[in-house]
Structure 1
Amino acid sequence: MMPVVSMLIAAAAAATPQVAIDSAMADSAAGWNAGDLARFTAIYAPDAVYVAGDKVVRGKAAIAERYAKSFANGGNTRGRLSFQPMAWRPLSAVHVLHVARWTLTPASGTPQTGLTTLLFERRKDGWKIISDHSS
């Protein structure tokens, strides 16, 4: 009998790119909301590049380090994360450009929102972000 995680990975791999990427994005947001940094950053490829403001961060480990300050005491300090897909553009059989609106809703105060442009690449372990430009 196949373990549940293996079945989910196999199902996601068989899904259309949009369905698989939406699933990965939802799981990343769920990781954020659960205060699980490893789950939140699992969507990034090891060699991913992250751009925000005037910073360029290279590599999944450095991206995780950048976000680590938002995670404290088994939670996160910035609010509940959600993504709203805005645009899709397949670039090749293994690359998809995805634009989404991110929203952080704190327990109290005003939500923050912005746009993210993500370049996904299909790899052996699923669709992974290889470039993230967020504002």
Structure 2
Amino acid sequence: MTPEQVTLVKESWEKVKPISEQAAELFYGRLFMLDPELKSLFKNDMSEQGKKLMATISLAVASLDRLETILPTVQALGQKHAAQYNVPDSSYATVGEALIWTLQQGLGDAFTDDVKEAWLLTYSTLSAAMLSGTEATA
């Protein structure tokens, strides 16, 4: 990622944080609309799950300019998702689609083509790291 892309992701995420509860609801609503079978993976309070999601994204966004420091943690998270929660590898594309849609809804006109491209790169980088963690489980 270029420094400009990192800045775009960080600045756009700052605009989403004040509406994080609504963003989480939008995200999970869209995710379950795209793939209703994924809903069975979530056994706990969805409000708490939404808070965890937003905290995880916040940590990842804050670490984008030193990505190498969090990649082992991201890989371990992927391994945990596969081993403990039986998250199918195919769901990563659906999650990405729901995330980009949610950002578009939350940011409105501020979700420019450049912002979208930066988020797509961010998500593809992090999801690839998570998927590499699932390989250790297989």
TM-score by length of 1: 0.28
Larger RCO: 1 or 2 (CA < 8 Å, sep 6+)? 2
Task: Please report the TM-score for the alignment, with normalisation by the length of structure 2.
Answer: 0.27
| Larger helix percent | 2
- Higher strand residue share: 1
